[in-house]
Chains A and B, each alone.
Chain A
Amino acid sequence: AQSVSQHNHHVILSEAASLELGCNYSYGGTVNLFWYVQYPGQHLQLLLKYFSGDPLVKGIKGFEAEFIKSKFSFNLRKPSVQWSDTAEYFCAVKPSNTGKLIFGQGTTLQVKP
């Protein structure tokens, strides 16, 4: 079955530290990849997405992610986090033959000021 795995469940960082959140998926075919953020009390918002082309994708708020097809990975990165980045982060995969989004378990990021 298709699945998405986020390795880090809870990450605590100090401001200005670098961030990398892991995401791996299991699906042999073509996929679209997404990272969403959910700030406390708010709805899910799209950070970035990959459909095709350059595997290094830049999103909003200084986030980027790299699609490594051979590793079935789509890790999220940010060189310097801010306190306002405290939120829940979800990786999601959409197999190309369906409209369904399959979500990872989510990673809670806590940034200490």
Chain B
Amino acid sequence: GAVVSQHPSWVICKSGTSVKIECRSLDFQATTMFWYRQFPKQSLMLMATSNEGSKATYEQGVEKDKFLINHASLTLSTLTVTSAHPEDSSFYICSAQGENGYTFGSGTRLTVV
């Protein structure tokens, strides 16, 4: 079946630094990928829709300059959290849309200290 690989699974970084999270569709092509943020005991909140070869579409309230998304190929999308602050600490999940629907990555736990 369809598999999405998300790396790293966890990362700790210092305030002010940037962190890049990768999302790869391993055995299918995904023209569209989605990035979610999940707070403890809460739902997945859609941050942005990433389209291959074009600019990402951000949801209301999400800072596009802070959460940089690049979807340079049909199998890879990246999310870069720039100038991270402790309030950016969260669980980030990507999802790739393919022929068989949505496939989710295993998530990245970001802790900013």
Contact = CB atoms under 8 A, between A and B. Distances in A.
Query: Are A and B a genuine interacting pair, yes or no?
Result: yes
Interface of A: 4, 9, 34, 36, 42-46, 49, 90, 99-106, 108
Interface of B: 4, 6, 32, 34, 36, 41-46, 49, 93, 95, 97, 101-102, 104-107
Given A42-B106, A43-B104, A43-B107, A105 B43 contact: yes
Contacts of A102: 46
Contact of B97 (A45, A49, A90, A99): A99
Contacts of B101: 46, 49
Identify whether the interface residues of B are mostly helix, strand, loop, or mixed.
strand
Nearest 10 pairs between A and B by C-beta? Answer: A44-B104, A43-B106, A103-B44, A103-B43, A105-B43, A43-B104, A106-B43, A99-B32, A100-B46, A104-B43
Given A99-B97, A100-B49, A101-B102, A90 B43 contact: yes
A101 B43 contact: no
26 contacts: A36-B104, A43-B4, A43-B6, A43-B93, A43-B105, A43-B107, A44-B95, A45-B104, A46-B102, A90-B43, A99-B32, A99-B34, A99-B49, A99-B97, A100-B34, A100-B46, A100-B49, A101-B34, A101-B46, A101-B102, A103-B43, A103-B44, A103-B45, A104-B43, A106-B43, A108-B41
